[in-house]
Amino acid sequence: MSGKKSALGFGFQPDQSQHHFLVTIPRSADGTVFFYERFKWQEDTDHQILDELLDKAKAMISKHKWKLIEEAVKTEFNRRLKKEGIAVGKWKTGQVPVERLLGKELLLLVWAIEDSDPSVIPTAIRNWLGLSPEERWWLFTMTNASTGNLHDKRGWRKAIRYALTENPVEENRKQMDLFEFLFEQQKE
């Protein structure tokens, strides 16, 4: 036995909290990826039935843009899930649940690139990775409070896009958490 806590998708444990995000990934290469915030998980089913009144559509991006971010997001989330002793996740066609805090971080990146040129996505990823999880959560909360719905592409949403896509961060300037910093200092 591996000793890892089981989870659905990326870290989602419905017995801990029903609050999660659901990413729907289409089969077709020219399809659209949708992101929903949900507060209820339907047990004993392979496919969640979305309720337009309860499940909040937060964003949508082209499958092309999704393909440009999915590996970086998977790597970041799985690194942290491993650290917490939770089974790692993978993206697949269909519905993929994401634990609520990881979902907030994912939405922040998606909001940054939803209306941007695909050529700036690598910059957005570097800037997103340069933020600590707590910074991502705060930025999500501020953005979500005023412009968190599917078509709210103004105010904070625009600010997030500019902050992550037009603010180049050097690759070697990624912010470390305190443990990583102390470990690096000890090596010197």
pTM to 2 decimal places:
0.87
Select from 141, 143, 145, 133 the least CA-distant residue to 180.
133
Interatomic CA distance for residues 165 and 159, integer angstroms:
10
pLDDT of residue 18: 95
User: 101-121 pLDDT, tens per residue?
Assistant: 999 999 999 999 999 999 999
pLDDT of residue 44: 84
pLDDT of residue 132: 95
pLDDT of residue 185: 64
User: 33-74 pLDDT, tens per residue?
Assistant: 999 999 999 998 889 999 988 999 999 999 999 999 999 999
Residue 152, amino acid: D
